[in-house]
């Protein structure tokens, strides 16, 4: 149950802002954890990763090799949704005008910590990594938001996909590590942006089912405002059982010597509710962050089938086409969820990655599988990988 901060003495410091009748502040969150088993995990990759950046993993470089590849069984978080907690609120100014804000932080119930704000550093100081913005909305017109927030592409994936940012078997969270330095991976982790800092975002009201949005992330480099700049557009439409969305994103290079566009991404998304099943499909194409500017395409087709008021079956096929490497791996995921209550769900998931060439497509998100060294479950190049997971998801 979502609770007003007025009733939570632990957040007494915020109580002063929650007393007014026209102000609503809510504490909310998700805790998701379970046990997962993943096959063909590359053992020696752990040593190489630690040696390259020991500060990131807060570990000493091992004195001996990590050993051969094999199966890893351990505690995993975020099977069906990333664990988080947050504060969101509104203030009604009257005449349909409202002030809105959101502060959202990721958490790792496997250790009690949160993810590093920047994978290239040892900093764990980005408290509200998942969102931190404030804005104004007007009924019938739309809203404007300022701060760190989701891009249109990421919002559409987490709305229209059969595996909405699952950390088991979903291409939105799993990476093909074949060419990590060059940016090889899935469309969100390596080629485009799921969230952007220093952003201004405009969102329209719902006009007969049509919603429009645009976002701009400032580069903030003196004398080179184009450096590191991000721009995105999105449109969604719903009519009865049909939902459609399209997104475009362009991100500039983070280099004063070259401020041209580094990455562009186009995404098309659709769902249709047939009552007996909700069918999802998506197409994304990213270009520019690969050697030679080659493109990277992802296709998904999935469904969610309610078997009873408590049981839901989930399935999805996702295919990668990496023009730079010629690799075309895919993931097949199946799962079953059981609703213990409106807030608590048990789940079982199984994901199989069929590699292509020397691809390293993961079946479990590296950042959410606690292997004890924080290095995840990167597979052996070219070796198929399977993950089986059982867990519990609780919303509050």
pLDDT in the model for residue 260: 57
Question: Is a pLDDT exceeding 60 seen at residue 113?
Answer: yes
The correct answer on CATH 1.10.10.60 for the domain covering 3-395 is no
Distance CA(128)–CA(197), nearest Å, equals 11
pLDDT in the model for residue 258: 54
What CA–CA distances, in Å, run from 43 to 261, 381, 386? 37, 12, 16
Helical H segments across 148-254, by residue range = 152-160
151 in Cβ contact with 131 (< 8 Å): no
| pLDDT band (50, 70, 90) for residue 16 | very low
Query: Any idea of the CA torsion for 191, 304, 319, 389, to the nearest 10 degrees?
Result: 80
197 in Cβ contact with 109 (< 8 Å): no
| pLDDT band (50, 70, 90) for residue 295 | confident
Can you tell me the mean pLDDT for 238-252? Answer: 94
User: Which tokens sit at 210?
Assistant: 């049509």
Distance CA(264)–CA(233), nearest Å, equals 12
Mean pLDDT of the chain: 80
Question: Is a pLDDT exceeding 50 seen at residue 296?
Answer: yes
Question: Is a pLDDT exceeding 70 seen at residue 116?
Answer: no
Q: Per mean pLDDT, which range of 111-125, 216-230, 296-310, 314-328 is the poorest?
A: 111-125
> What is the share, in percent, of the chain residues with pLDDT greater than 70?
73
**Domain residues of the chain, as ranges?**
3-395
229 in Cβ contact with 219 (< 8 Å): yes
Q: Per mean pLDDT, which range of 161-175, 284-298, 299-313 is the poorest?
A: 284-298
Distance CA(210)–CA(312), nearest Å, equals 29
């Amino acid at each position: 149950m979502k609770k007003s901060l007025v009733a939570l003495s632990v957040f007494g410091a915020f109580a002063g802002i929650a007393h007014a009748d026209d102000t609503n502040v809510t504490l909310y969150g998700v805790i998701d954890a379970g046990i997962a088993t993943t096959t063909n995990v590359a053992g020696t990759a752990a040593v190489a990763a630690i040696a390259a950046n020991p500060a990131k993993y807060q570990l000493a470089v091992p004195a001996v090799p990590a050993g051969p590849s094999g199966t890893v069984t351990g505690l995993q978080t975020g099977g069906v949704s990333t664990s988080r907690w947050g504060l969101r609120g509104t203030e009604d100014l009257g005449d349909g005008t409202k002030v809105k804000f959101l502060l959202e932080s990721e958490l790792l119930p496997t250790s009690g910590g949160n993810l590093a704000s920047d994978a290239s550093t040892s900093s764990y100081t980005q408290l509200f990594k998942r969102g931190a913005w404030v804005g104004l909305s007007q009924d019938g017109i739309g809203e404007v938001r300022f701060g760190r927030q989701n891009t249109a592409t990421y919002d559409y994936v987490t709305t229209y996909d059969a595996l909405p940012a699952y950390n088991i078997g979903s291409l939105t969270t799993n990476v093909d590590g074949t060419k990590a330095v060059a940016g090889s991976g899935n469309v969100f982790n390596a080629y485009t942006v799921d969230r952007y800092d220093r952003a201004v975002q405009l969102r329209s009201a719902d006009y007969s089912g049509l919603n429009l949005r645009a976002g701009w992330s400032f580069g903030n480099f003196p004398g080179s405002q184009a450096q590191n700049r991000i721009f995105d557009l999105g449109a969604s439409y719903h009519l009865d059982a049909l939902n459609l969305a399209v997104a475009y994103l362009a991100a500039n290079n983070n280099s004063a010597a070259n401020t041209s566009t580094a990455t562009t991404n186009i995404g098309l998304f659709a769902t249709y509710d047939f009552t007996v099943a909700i069918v999802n499909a998506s197409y994304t194409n990213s270009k520019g962050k690969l050697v030679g500017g080659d493109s990277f395409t992802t296709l998904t087709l999935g469904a969610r089938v309610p078997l009873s008021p408590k049981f839901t079956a989930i399935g999805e096929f996702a295919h990668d086409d990496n023009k730079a490497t010629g690799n075309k791996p895919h993931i097949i995921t199946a799962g079953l969820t059981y609703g213990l209550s409106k807030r608590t769900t048990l789940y079982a998931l199984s994901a199989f990655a069929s590699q292509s060439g020397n691809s390293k497509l993961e079946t479990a998100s590296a950042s959410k599988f606690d292997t004890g060294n924080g290095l995840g479950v990167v597979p052996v190049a070219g070796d198929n990988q399977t993950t089986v997971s059982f867990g519990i998801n609780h919303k509050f």
